Structure 1
Amino acid sequence: MSDSLSLLLTNDDGIDAVGFRALYETLSEVADVTAVAPADDQSAVGRKLSNDVSVREHDLGYAIEGTPADCVVAGLEALRPDVDAVVAGCNKGANLGAYVLGRSGTVSAAVESAFFDVPAIAVSLYVPGGGDTPWQEQASDPEDFRNATAATKFLVEHALGAGVFEQAEYLNVNAPMAEGDGPAPIEITRPSTLYEMTAEHDGNGTITLHDRVWDRMRADDIPDPEGTDRRAVVDGKVSVSPLTAPHTTEHHEALDALAETYLDTV
């Protein structure tokens, strides 16, 4: 363990998740790691924030009765304010595509950290699903997360010193499940823009929402081009997307013109 590098580790699957423990143990080889993670599953809550949260000591650090964003705020402000970086993961299930960035609790923890000016890495594992075993029952062994933990360890050791976070506020990492002996290569990517959410009304008061992208991934029917996060993971690579947290703004002449005529129309 290195005395010079300190990390806050959180997630959205809960502090006792297999992927969380796998990442904690791997990162502890190179850093002083303190867990500040949800006490239970908080998947897909985005940046939902609480006013008050209960905290209890855990053998890895602290368990919070709250969301990933709660954990980052509580961790950086009250429990471990002196860390070099925040790592969120390893999530069981990929967080791929631009449309999931605001939905994922894992990614949202990294975004929350970025607003504190603390570098962050969000880490997720792509579980293909299909076959006889439901995807929820797969990735039950820490070894299944080997590609994700190895890549994250490498980035933690090298990205800070290399100046990566002078241009990016956080990294969104997605890794395929481990196969064979060697690690999967890293590819620097951009989030895919493919979006195929559907909604079906059964006529009896229920509307079913469905993300068809997962069906296409299982069928190897992905139109994403080279260089996108989803294409990299489907091709067996570790996707690393360097991202910025604040929403960008641009000058809009048409909107300026509307503002100038507002008082003349009301």
Structure 2
Amino acid sequence: MDEPRILLTNDDGIDSVGFRALYKGLSDLGEVTAVAPADDQSSVGRAISQAVDVHDHDLGYEVEGTPVDCVIAGLGTLCPDADLVVSGCNKGANIGAYVLGRSGTVSAAVEAAFFEVPAISVSLYIDGGDDWEQLATEIEDFRHATAATRYLVDRAGEAGVFEAADYLNVNVPYIETDTGLVEPSEMVVTHPSTRYEMGAERNGEQVDLQDGIWELMRSGSITDPEGTDRRAVAEGQISVSPLTAPHSTERHSALDRLADEFRLEKM
């Protein structure tokens, strides 16, 4: 894609380090306009507001709303000529089918698809155990995620990737050792893992909701099949999942029969 007009958004907020990293990294590929939340909007999914306040920002526009608000405001009026939406870089992975609908980062890409604008959501999987939030605090820490995003922004459109996919969900591993940051081994095409480990435990008058996946990730007990996004990042690979906007449908004879029987019963 030659000199694309890029709408850049995220869910961690416009001043987050991952966002700044992508803005800096993409600015020489095209015209980048930030339309991003004023504050952290993590895990809001496709939540939407009726109206949002918008403020000028040195990178573009700061929106007092959700990532979906940002995409609608951006493509609807603030930068309607955007060729591509990039969402990220999120600090923390967005992997697994059950996470996609919760993620503000991914939801921004999904919303772009309804505008028929291709999109890329980008997240950093941080292999840091319980201390992961204290890692990846500098723009340079996002260099591998930025490089992967640049590569896809520069080549995916021209290669015809978006003729089949509405958006790409990219997860890049951040693996820090005593000798420095480990470079990802390769980029692989994946599909979202369907493994689900949510559970709940009664704790007096409240119920604690627990996601067992992250415990497994920390322990290295990844048994997800080859070809899944979670398996790829756990093995130090950049995961790229080509996805379509929800919700796909597939007709099948059993439901057709039920519908026919319902009509007959009403007669």
Which range, TM-score by smaller chain? over 0.9
- Aligned-residue offset at 1:226: 1.4
**Structure 1 contact 150–183 (Cα < 8 Å) conserved:** no
- Aligned-residue offset at 1:261: 2.4
Match of 1:155 among 152, 156, 173: 152
Change in Cα spacing, 1:197 to 1:191, as seen in structure 2 (3 Å) is same
Q: CA offsets, 1:20-76, max 9 Å, x none?
A: 001110011211100000000000000011110000000100000000000000000
- Aligned-residue offset at 1:3: 7.7
Aligned residue in 2 for 1:198:
199
Aligned residue in 2 for 1:174:
171
SS in 2 for 1:177: strand
SS in 2 for 1:245: coil
> Do structure 1's residue 136 and structure 2's residue 133 form an aligned pair?
yes
The alignment's TM-score, normalised by the length of structure 1, stands at: 0.94
- Aligned-residue offset at 1:248: 1.3
> Do structure 1's residue 108 and structure 2's residue 116 form an aligned pair?
no
Specify the code of the residue in structure 1 equivalent to 2:142: F
CA distance in 2, matches of 1:57, 1:108: 23
Aligned residue in 1 for 2:11:
12
SS in 1 for 2:230: helix
Aligned residue in 1 for 2:251:
251
**Structure 2 contact 173–184 (Cα < 8 Å) conserved:** no
CA distance in 2, matches of 1:130, 1:214: 9
SS in 1 for 2:165: coil
Aligned residue in 2 for 1:98:
97
**Structure 2 contact 174–181 (Cα < 8 Å) conserved:** no
Percent identity, aligned pairs only? 62
Change in Cα spacing, 1:232 to 1:109, as seen in structure 2 (3 Å) is same
> Do structure 1's residue 89 and structure 2's residue 92 form an aligned pair?
no
Specify the code of the residue in structure 2 equivalent to 1:193: T
Aligned residue in 2 for 1:123:
122
- Aligned-residue offset at 1:164: 0.4
Specify the code of the residue in structure 2 equivalent to 1:259: A
CA distance in 2, matches of 1:236, 1:3: 31
CA distance in 1, matches of 2:262, 2:194: 35
The alignment's TM-score, normalised by the length of structure 2, stands at: 0.94
- Aligned-residue offset at 1:262: 2.1
CA distance in 2, matches of 1:98, 1:261: 34
CA distance in 2, matches of 1:260, 1:240: 41
Aligned pair count reads 262
CA distance in 1, matches of 2:57, 2:116: 27
RMSD over aligned Cα atoms: 1.6
**Structure 1 contact 12–38 (Cα < 8 Å) conserved:** yes
